[in-house]
Structure 1
Amino acid sequence: MHRILLVEDNEMNRDMLSRRLKRKGYEIIIAVDGGEGVEKAISEKPDLILMDMSLPVMDGWTATEHLKQKEETKSTPIIALTAHAMAGDYEKAMKAGCDDYDTKPIELPRLLNKIKAFLD
């Protein structure tokens, strides 16, 4: 079973997405801010990270940069999740080290295709 770290501060988004991913057979690890996301990525060694970009403590861009600089997490795929579908956000996420990008509200079939592309 693949393990996904979901870094999301919004409880409603977190609960909805984690339940839907669990039903698809993924084990979900939860972090509620960027700092906790970095800690759990290192300690839990997930197969993939779904990273909200607007997070308390440490934003998703900074958390991604930290993870991509660490030997133990630099090859873990990170998909940026953001409600900020503004011009330049995709480029900013890629520059931070994200491997892919998806917008909120989450369209589950599209996100699942992206997840499968990294995990298969």
Structure 2
Amino acid sequence: MMRRDQYIILCVEDNPINMALMHHIFKKYPQIRLLKADSAEQAIELLGQDRPDLIIMDIQLPGMDGYEALDYLKSREDTRDIPIVAVSSYAMDSDVARGLQAGFAEYITKPINLKFFLERVKELIKQAAVSREE
């Protein structure tokens, strides 16, 4: 497998504090370029410029929510194979089950367990890179 030296993660988050947290987490990884969008609509626009290896998406967004954005992205041939991780303060078991059933690759609850979050992000990026090269 050829190893790339940079991966793109698109973070869709409308809360500036949560976006700052994502920036803080990923700035420690020079091989990751973080794209930021504060709405699903803005994220969809960005997808026309850069194709991310992974999307991290808040569920509660202004306008189109995370579930609507997931449905839209999974319906498009050019974006359906990008893994999407839900990040949400909806933390009941039923919320997690609904998110996974809807098609999110992972459902992370807030406050974020950083170790688990980073393990899953790394795993999903590797999987996406492998399937893209096949």
Task: Calculate the TM-score normalised by the size of structure 2.
Answer: 0.83
Give matches, 1:1-120, under 5 Å.
Answer: 1-25=6-30, 26-120=32-126
Moved more, 90-99 or 104-113: 90-99
Displacement of 1:42 in angstroms is 4.1
Moved more, 95-104 or 110-119: 95-104
Displacement of 1:11 in angstroms is 0.1
State the alpha-carbon separation in 1 of the partners of residues 22 and 79 from structure 2.
23
- Structure 2: where are the runs of 5+ without partners? 1-5, 127-134
State the alpha-carbon separation in 2 of the partners of residues 39 and 28 from structure 1.
15
- CA contact 1:42–1:72 (8 Å) conserved in 2: no
Taking structure 1 as reference, are residues 92 and 41 closer, same or farther at Cα in structure 2, changes over 3 Å only?
Answer: farther
Task: Calculate the TM-score normalised by the size of structure 1.
Answer: 0.92
1:109 partner SS: helix
State the alpha-carbon separation in 1 of the partners of residues 45 and 101 from structure 2.
21
The CA deviation string for residues 36-79 of structure 1, in whole angstroms up to 9 with x for no partner, is 12222343210000010000011001001100110010000001
State the alpha-carbon separation in 1 of the partners of residues 117 and 93 from structure 2.
20
- Percent of aligned positions with the same letter in both sequences? 35
Displacement of 1:106 in angstroms is 1.5
Aligned residues: 120
State the alpha-carbon separation in 1 of the partners of residues 67 and 34 from structure 2.
21
1:88 partner SS: helix
| RMSD of Structure 2 on Structure 1 (CA) | 1.3
Displacement of 1:4 in angstroms is 0.2
